[in-house]
Amino acid sequence: MTTGSTYTLQEINALSHDDFVQALSPLFEGPPWIVAEAWPSRPFRSLDHLHASLCAVMYAAPLEQQVALIRSHPDLVGRAALAGTLSPSSTHEQSAAGLDRLSDEEIAAFSRYNQAYRERFGFPFVICARENKKDSILAGFEQRLHNSPDQEIPLALGEVAKICLLRLRDLIRS
């Protein structure tokens, strides 16, 4: 995350519900329902405990809510990225994967894969960009396009969990 604000775990545990939601909402794309529902699990003993609590909320949500969470993610090298309107976290993550330095041919390939993936699953391809580079992301598209929706939804949620953990590590200082 590139917001600049960081917190200790003690400070996170002491936040009011509204301040907690505001501070942690950048961990996930879309509405902050996961963060809001995790607040009663305080006090968190560790960063891992906080992450596990957030993920437990995500994984326990109804399927429709999980799919809505996945749908809130931007396409990789999509319209928002090309227009410069991604969230600061997404901009940083796509840049870290080198997705801001693609040739016209590579942009076209991402566009084709994004379209094929959305047509197949009804939501964007989600992968933890900070753990990948353009070639592994393109390979991920090729591999995961063969999955069924029942296989792909848990994979996408697993990637959301990885993204959350990395953003959480940026947010919480020792």
Catalytic residue, candidates 17, 49, 73, 146: 73
Residue 63 — pLDDT band, cuts 50, 70, 90?
Answer: very high
What pLDDT digit, counting tens, does each position of 66-98 carry? 999 999 998 888 777 777 777 888 888 888 888
Peptide bond into 43 cis (omega under 30): yes
What pLDDT digit, counting tens, does each position of 22-47 carry? 999 999 999 999 999 999 999 999 99
- Structure tokens of 121? 């699953």
Per-residue pLDDT at 4: 65
Residue 167: exposed, middle, or buried by beta-carbon count in 10 A (0-12, 13-18, 19+)? buried
Which residues are CB-neighbours of 33 under 8 A, at least 6 positions away? 57, 61, 65
- Structure tokens of 118? 């959305």
Per-residue pLDDT at 45: 97
Residue 100 — pLDDT band, cuts 50, 70, 90?
Answer: confident
Is 73 a known active-site residue?
A: yes
Mean pLDDT on 5-27? 97
